[in-house]
Structure 1
Amino acid sequence: MKITQFKLLNACIFIAIVLSTFASANEKSTNNLKSSQFAQTTNRGEINMSSNAEQEAVKTAVNNYLTGISRPEIARERIQAAFYSSTNLHSLDEDGNVKFQPRDSLIEMVLAGNVPPHKGEIMQIEVTNDMAFAKVHLDLPDRDFYDYLTLLKLNVGWRIVSKTYTTVMK
């Protein structure tokens, strides 16, 4: 009877060690992915780090947008370089309905001086094959804007094809 109990105890310990090792390895793998701001999903669904060249190209497109809304003297050039020509900006109006604004209304707003001084930062970029996602934060004195940008890699390079944004009052 004692030998059977000893074997059972050893089997339980062995299973606990195997499960602990598997959980630890799985946790390390998940943490490594979470700690990366820039990840790429291949067309087979595997997660790999995206190439630095693609990350930088997406970052350049997003920075064209951020520079364009900050500097009226080059707003038209930078915003046109960042956005696809027929891109709409999406948000909600006061009644909770979707509001669509064409890209060029953003240019006109900047040229008219209707964009207050702000600090912009790219919070996240994710590249998957020929599409990308960027999350942007604009810090204004009385509010924060958060943009979710969808980009596609066109024959002329990465362009923002959709911008959805929200405002959070401070």
Structure 2
Amino acid sequence: MIMGLILLDFWPITTIVSKKPAFGTQPYFGLISTVIVLSVAGVVWETGVNLSGMDTVDYLVRIPVSFVFGTFILLTLFQTAPFQKLAQPAKGCALIFGSALLALLTYELYRFASINAFAHIQAGPPAYDLDLWIATAMLSITFPLIVAYAEGFAFWPLKNDDRH
């Protein structure tokens, strides 16, 4: 939920601050942010785990962990393109949707790879082997690929300048 707030450039808090500038100072800004994050996270958790009956570990890997990686891909690799020119909150909503789509694709890619590379790997309790493999693979493979692309290719062809 924190990443969602970042994608929204802290909208609607910035709207509140524009009307009441005192709320832009600490501790008010932090408290408002915390209340919003905890409220939205509570609704998403309640929906994902309690109402739909998803397993807790499965939920954590599929939703928050995958969303963080979808966000990193959209923010770092794509530099928020093609949503850069949109105003908030439309830009943030488009980024959230794009991050969710990338999260789904990334999760399914790693799930496919793990099942094909390690046919014996099992999802769910008691060991959560597949779930843990996907979460750690996202960390150990995606981050280095992002760094290699950003530093080694200077975001080419998404960003083409003559620096490298």
Tell me, yes or no, whether TM beats 0.5.
Answer: no
| Structure showing the higher strand proportion among its residues | 1
If the length of structure 2 is used for normalisation, what is the TM-score?
0.29
| Structure showing the higher helix proportion among its residues | 2
